Amino acid sequence: MKAIAFITVVLCGSLIMFGTFEFPDWGDPQSPASRHLSPYFIEQSLADTAVPNIVTAVLADYRGFDTMFETTVIFAAGLACFFLLRTFTKKTRNERLYRHSSTGIIINIKKGGKRPDDSSKFERIDSLWTPYDLIIKTTCRLIIPSIQLFALYVIAHGHHSPGGGFQGGVILGASIILLAISNDLRSTLRRMSEKASAIMAAAGVLIYVGTGILCLLLGAAFLDYEALAPLLQSSRIMARSHGILIVEMGVGLAVMAVMIWLYYNISSAGKHDEGL
Amino acid sequence: MIWQLDVIILTLVIISGIAAITIKDLLGAAILFGAYSFLMCLLWAIMGAVDVAFTEASVGAGVSTVLFVAAVFQTTRRSQD
Amino acid sequence: MNQQFPALIIIVPLIVALVITIVGWLNKKWCFPLALIGLGTPLLISVGLLLEVLKKQVITYHLGGWRPPMGIEYRIDHLSGLVLVVIFSVALLNLIASREKVLAEFPEKAGAFYGLSLLFVAGLAGITITGDAFNLYVLLEITALSGYALIGMGDKHAPLAGLHYLIMGTIGASFYLLGVGFLYLMTGTLNMVELSQMLPALYSSRVVIFAFFFCLIGLFIKMAMFPVHGWLPNAYSYMPTAASGLIAALTTKVMIYVMIRISLLVFTPSFVFVNTLLNSALVWLAVIAIVTGSILALAQKSLTRMLTFIIIAEVGYMVGGFWLGNRDGITGSVLHIVNDAAMTLCLFLAVGSIRFRLQSDRLSDLSGIFRTMPFTMIAFVVGGLSIIGVPPTCGFFSKWYLIKGGLAAGSYEFVAALIFSSLINIILFFRVIEIGYFNPQTEGRNDDHTTPANGGINEAPLGMVVTSLISATSLIVLGIYTNVLVGKVIQFVL
Amino acid sequence: MNDLITLIASKYNYWAFIILMMLGLYAMIVKKNLVKKIIGMNIFQTSIILFYISVGAKEQATIPIIEHSHGTEAHPIQAINYINPLPHVLMLTAIVVSVATLGVALALAIRVYRQYGTLEENEIQSQINQL
């Protein structure tokens, strides 16, 4: 089996390698790909959209429809993971562990026992893994806000530098995932519930689609941001630039929420009790 | 761009790719896959695809690895091949 | 508003899918009516588009207001207009039929189910009308992802089948992407119409031939053509019944449609049928697909598995018919896309009702089924007759065109395979009829739930019965109006 | 000899993409472990992304962000100076698709593990055959 697979793979590879001899040279400025469509984008995108980062301009404007479906793919992945993994049946464990915050003493409450009332003094912990690491917690408390600030910068500055809604959204999501890893899943779920992340994911894509629909209602083609010019009170070219920003924010929201949603469901296998 | 750097990173990418699929510990495979993604991201940065490199760094080396590790924790580390 | 139809037809299901996801967290009762709106409106739009296409030949739509090579263009011709109507009618019928099944199978995740199936349909509709090679890949992945999730939710072996489908499907989509990459490398454009203008100068290039091969291999994997069909039987037989009508009826047919569109719109027929030297090889492959699919169908012990192998044989019909490369063959192939979608829907809806009632679809459990579920079985028999190819059902007419095409092209092996598979289908369906009609109902097998003691009527819920009867009627209607379909729509494909 | 060196220098990026692609394909065919298959699938997808980025590469050119400040709009922007941005856009989408596929694949793998208690395909197969 292994040998057959190896031979097929090598044969297939050498066949494609045979094809590469007719490829244009690597990095050749005269290759068809560099001569046909891309000069238009490079030379005109600044004049058309007032966005210096050509990738952002092409991504969110010229090929904005692709990007809308890219966001939808991500949303579909979040929805699919929820659909596949989430189990709503709660298994009540007989014993619950609580830790006294200031002393670090762990108490084990058997079934039917009275739970500690004052939840600020006691925190519930998991039997498999008990997060109690001052250094990690403090570091994360320091790092997470800066990560989020950077993520917002990436979203907002996508017009002028590498970045944009997608990258910023992933970084925002990663900051929440970091919170979930450094603390535990349950306390993260208290800050940002699954319902919130699901609704935010759908809302993010809705912002994108809604922008397109708005253009359509204003009489232009779907996702033709120029139609927004009267609403935004700007010139038609700046309307494209602003339209891209709105759309990028939608992408950022959706991607952040889906990354968190994916993590919630995969790290707890859909049970939402104990994370990593 | 500097072709020596390019060749070195390409070799490293291929080595880490082979390592990721041959190692018997799935957690190790997940981490090696993260390394593979990160080297790939460097390669794209060298080629001038900064946006793609940025995305790969945050998605491939970041979130994908976390998801892999999470899935491995939920299943098993053992692998026969 | 009229000229916005090409965008709206995809946006409406998409937006409703998003709204359903939000609403599903608040109140589950609203999910089903919303889904009904999300599929009913596009059905009306698609009929409007088809009527418009009949007048104007081709409708184009520039998304974002950019001219085609810069932006993405949507392009609707006769064939895509027809396929759109088929997609939305099948999806709507399956939605109505699946209401009770969703409540029974995953009550807490109804919102997610409807959301995913709407995304699936939106993706298929986009695939059908997009005029941009890369946009097609993105839409392919949306369809595929929601399909994997819907399949993976089935009973016990479904996740494994879903994972295999995912891996095969990703290989297929990646090969398609690679093919598009080769085309982009040689021409620098992604727009299908512009590609078709630039490619003829490059037809001697190895890279273009490789590009065509890769697109074709990728689509073959996605449509479960014979050597790479391995994922289909398990995935389709373990998937939840609520989704089976939708996925089984549409996925493979839309992929065959994409193959036809890529071959005719991006490449020229002269290149596809002459330069690549693939003709006879692919017709032979289709012959093998038909024969093995039919024989393996005979070996199955459960109704759904039998149908999955029939699908593999039917894929052989359509691919073979197209690669005959003459007018009758391609007409038959396109007609069979429509007919086979209707037939598969009819059969899977009927089998879904049977599975819903009996909790089983093994042939041995079907005794006396005609007495307990008469209407469902009427639909099943009509579907079976159509698969066999008995006039006046639609299956006869597409097979007629295919055989005519085979004779004209001189490929008698294809004609023989078609007749052989019809004979096998007769055996298959009459075996079911024999068990269900003539065998007495075995007592004690299924009487633990719902079966009345003296074999009274115990039909599936109204929605399922009505939808399977509608789809059965549509088979006969399609058969009667075949001439109209061919004369008004399909003859313009070439 | 010189020809060979120029050939290698102009094509080695494409060859690396082919090696990685075949590596991923091999892993998907041969490996019995489902997570390994998923890793192979990802390597396969990234290799195609590498191919597209190689198509877009352009020598003596800079990243596709136009240098501009107030007053420089008058300077003509030369296409030869900037790398082709279109493959980058396409591959951003492809990366997103690959992470989405990864999420669904891992969810399915977890469900498979829940069902059979193992990720090895041959063990799963023997369990199915026993039933």
Architecture field, domain D2-58+74-130:
Orthogonal Bundle (1.10)
Of D12, D26, D68, the CB nearest to A9: D26
pLDDT digits (tens, 9 = 90+) for A154-192: 998 888 888 888 999 999 999 999 988 888 788 888 888
Say yes or no to pLDDT of A123 above 80. Answer: no
Interface mutation target, options A11, A15, A17, A37, chain C, most CBs of C under 10 Å: A37
Q: Which residues contact C202 (CB under 8 A, 6 or more apart)?
A: C186, C187, C208
- The reported pLDDT for the residue numbered A131 is 57
Closest residue in A to D88 (Cα) is A55
**In this structure, are residues B70 and A264 in contact, taking their beta carbons and an 8 Å threshold?**
no
d(CA A248, CA A49): 14
CA proximity to C324, closest of C419, C402, C399: C402
Write down the pTM of the prediction.
0.93
> What DSSP character marks residue C62?
E
**In this structure, are residues C192 and C80 in contact, taking their beta carbons and an 8 Å threshold?**
no
- The reported pLDDT for the residue numbered A24 is 80
Q: Which residues of A touch C190 (CB under 8 A)?
A: 37
Which ipTM value was assigned to this complex? 0.93
pLDDT digits (tens, 9 = 90+) for D67-126: 766 555 556 777 778 888 899 999 999 999 999 999 999 999 999 998 888 888 888 888
Q: Which of A6-20, A200-214, B37-51, D38-52 has the lowest mean pLDDT?
A: A6-20
Residue A91 contacts C where some CB pair is shorter than 8 Å: no
Q: Each residue of D79-93: b (16+ CB within 10 Å) or e?
A: beebbbbbbbbbbbb
Closest residue in A to C17 (Cα) is A202
CA proximity to D26, closest of A170, A2, A237, C286: A2
SS3 for C394-415, per residue?
A: HHHHHHHHHHHHHHHHCCHHHH
For the residues D17-39, what does the mean pLDDT come to?
90
- The reported pLDDT for the residue numbered C371 is 82
Give chain C's radius of gyration (CA, Å): 22
For the residues C83-94, what does the mean pLDDT come to?
93
- The reported pLDDT for the residue numbered C455 is 54
Question: Confidence class of residue A73 from pLDDT cuts 50, 70 and 90?
Answer: very high
What does A228-259 look like in DSSP terms, one character per residue?
GHHHHTS-HHHHHHHHHHHHHHHHHHHHHHHH
d(CA D35, CA C307): 31
Say yes or no to pLDDT of D42 above 90. Answer: yes
Taking all residues of chain A, what is their mean pLDDT, rounded to a whole number?
A: 84
Cis peptide before C392 (omega within 30 of 0): yes
d(CA D62, CA D52): 17
Percentage above 70 pLDDT, chain A: 89
Length of chain D: 131
For the residues A122-134, what does the mean pLDDT come to?
65
pLDDT digits (tens, 9 = 90+) for C152-201: 988 888 999 999 999 999 999 999 999 999 999 888 889 998 888 888 88
Say yes or no to pLDDT of A119 above 70. Answer: no
CB contact under 8 A, D55 and C152: no
SS3 for chain C, per residue?
A: CHHHHHHHHHHHHHHHHHHHHHHHHHCHHHHHHHHHHHHHHHHHHHHHHHHHHHHHCCEEEEHHHCCCCCCCEEEECHHHHHHHHHHHHHHHHHHHHHHHHHHHHCHHHHHHHHHHHHHHHHHHHHHHHECEHHHHHHHHHHHHHHHHHHHHCCCCCHHHHHHHHHHHHHHHHHHHHHHHHHHHHHHCCCEHHHHHHHHHHHCCCHHHHHHHHHHHHHHHHHHCCHHHCCHHHHHHHHCCHHHHHHHHHHHHHHHHHHHHHHHHHHCCHHHHHHHCCCHHHHHHHHHHHHHHHHHHHHCCCEHHHHHHHHHHHHHHHHHHHHHHCCHHHHHHHHHHHHHHHHHHHHHHHHHHHHHHHHCCCEHHHHCCHHHHCHHHHHHHHHHHHHHHCCCCCHHHHHHHHHHHHHHHHCCHHHHHHHHHHHHHHHHHHHHHHHHHHHCCCCCCCCCCCCCCCCCCCCCCCHHHHHHHHHHHHHHHHHHHCHHHHHHHCHHHCC
pLDDT digits (tens, 9 = 90+) for C137-148: 999 999 999 999
Of D48, D55, D101, the CB nearest to C166: D101
Which residues 19-78 on chain A approach chain D with CB closer than 8 angstroms?
20-21, 23, 25-29, 31, 33-34, 37-39, 41-43, 45-46, 52-55, 58-59, 63, 66-67, 70-71, 73-74, 76-78
Q: Report which secondary-structure segment, H or E, holds D64.
A: none
Residue C455 — left, alpha, or beta (φ > 0 → left; ψ -120 to 50 → alpha)?
left
Question: Confidence class of residue C447 from pLDDT cuts 50, 70 and 90?
Answer: very low
Q: Each residue of A135-157: b (16+ CB within 10 Å) or e?
A: eeeeebeeebeebbeebeebbbe
- The reported pLDDT for the residue numbered C444 is 46
d(CA C15, CA A105): 52
For the residues C87-97, what does the mean pLDDT come to?
92
Say yes or no to pLDDT of A198 above 80. Answer: yes
CB contact under 8 A, B63 and A56: no
Taking all residues of chain C, what is their mean pLDDT, rounded to a whole number?
A: 87
d(CA A5, CA A204): 44
CB contact under 8 A, A262 and B73: no
pLDDT digits (tens, 9 = 90+) for C2-21: 788 888 899 999 999 999 99
CA A265 to chain centre: 15
- The reported pLDDT for the residue numbered C451 is 47
Question: Confidence class of residue A126 from pLDDT cuts 50, 70 and 90?
Answer: low
Single-letter amino acid, residue C55? K
Alpha-carbon distances of C107 from C121, C188, C298, D115, rounded to whole Å: 21, 49, 36, 21
Residue D37 contacts C where some CB pair is shorter than 8 Å: yes
CB contact under 8 A, C159 and D108: yes
Q: Which residues of B touch A267 (CB under 8 A)?
A: 70, 73-74
CB contact under 8 A, C163 and D109: yes
Q: Which of C305-314, C339-348, C387-396 has the lowest mean pLDDT?
A: C387-396
For the residues B10-28, what does the mean pLDDT come to?
91
For the residues D22-47, what does the mean pLDDT come to?
91
A97 has which bridge partners? Answer: A108, A125
Sheet holding A96-100, edge to edge: A106-109, A96-100, A122-125
pLDDT digits (tens, 9 = 90+) for C101-146: 888 888 888 889 999 999 999 999 999 999 899 999 999 999 999 9
d(CA D56, CA A34): 7
For the residues D16-39, what does the mean pLDDT come to?
90
Q: Which of A16-25, A224-233, C423-432 has the lowest mean pLDDT?
A: A16-25
> B touches C (3+ CB pairs < 8 Å)?
no
For the residues C232-255, what does the mean pLDDT come to?
90
SS3 C38: helix
Q: Which residues of C touch A75 (CB under 8 A)?
A: 18, 21
pLDDT digits (tens, 9 = 90+) for B44-57: 998 888 999 999 99
Say yes or no to pLDDT of A236 above 60. Answer: yes
- The reported pLDDT for the residue numbered B14 is 92
| Residue C205 CB neighbour total at 10 angstroms | 16
- The reported pLDDT for the residue numbered A130 is 57
Domain ranges of chain A: 49-86+130-267
pLDDT digits (tens, 9 = 90+) for C319-353: 999 988 888 888 899 999 999 999 999 999 999 88
